[in-house]
Structure 1
Amino acid sequence: MGIRSVLEANFDFEIIDEFLDHYAMMMEILEPLIIDLGNSDRYQRSIEELFRIFHNIKSASGYLQIQPMVRLSTFVEDALEQLRTRDKVVNEETITWFISVSDMFLQWQEDFKMDNELSKIHFSLLILPDMENA
């Protein structure tokens, strides 16, 4: 039984549809926001928007009891919290890590569409890059 079937067995169809619609909208803007972390003019806006996105994913996936999404979005939210207090752009390694995180969430979006089991979190995503050296 795939992830969508599991959700449909436990939650109202409208709630699932709303989650997937919002999730799709967030996925569309994720990569441009990540790339903007390297742009000093857009850094602060991008970091705040990324924090909001991952906080929303964490909250919604928590309600829907999608534990892998809760765990990864919490981990990413914590990393973003560290970066929120900075006013300098992030390094390439950090941008690459965030792109990899984005790819994982895009894979999960595909898992929802295809009603597959959720793909396993790639171990490399659980190792934070050196975010201190820009």
Structure 2
Amino acid sequence: MTHRNTARKTLLSVAAVAVTALLAGCGAVGMDPEAGKSPVPLPSPNGTRQAIAKENLVHLWPLTVDRGSIECRKDEQTVFVDESGKAYALNRKAEDAGVTKIDGIRRESEGGWQVGLGAMRSHALALCTTGKDKKKS
């Protein structure tokens, strides 16, 4: 075997280890506790309020608490309310109205990034439309 072939094999081995480490940091390798789970459908909303839990969003669940409710309030303020009744802002409109920022209960991914609020916020915004439809009826 030539020096060039040995160097090439060493480089390929190092590259393989680097790619594996990179994928592990992204959560693509390793044990994911949510692997194989399917989301449970959300219960029917009660006007502009709806119960929501980790099992409804599975991988997309963005919080360190497992359940609560989402609400659409005046002027499309979207909030998450934990089981103790404490409200957290899901959007800027709620923050501007004085609702506590949600950062204190945001979940971090394995890579250290905060899990996005998009899925939960979308469900809460849909309640704003539901509430308007009921008021028109």
TM beyond 0.5: no
TM-score, with normalisation over the residues of structure 2? Answer: 0.28
Q: Flag the structure with larger Rg.
A: 2
Q: Which has the higher contact order (CA 8 A, sep 6+)?
A: 1
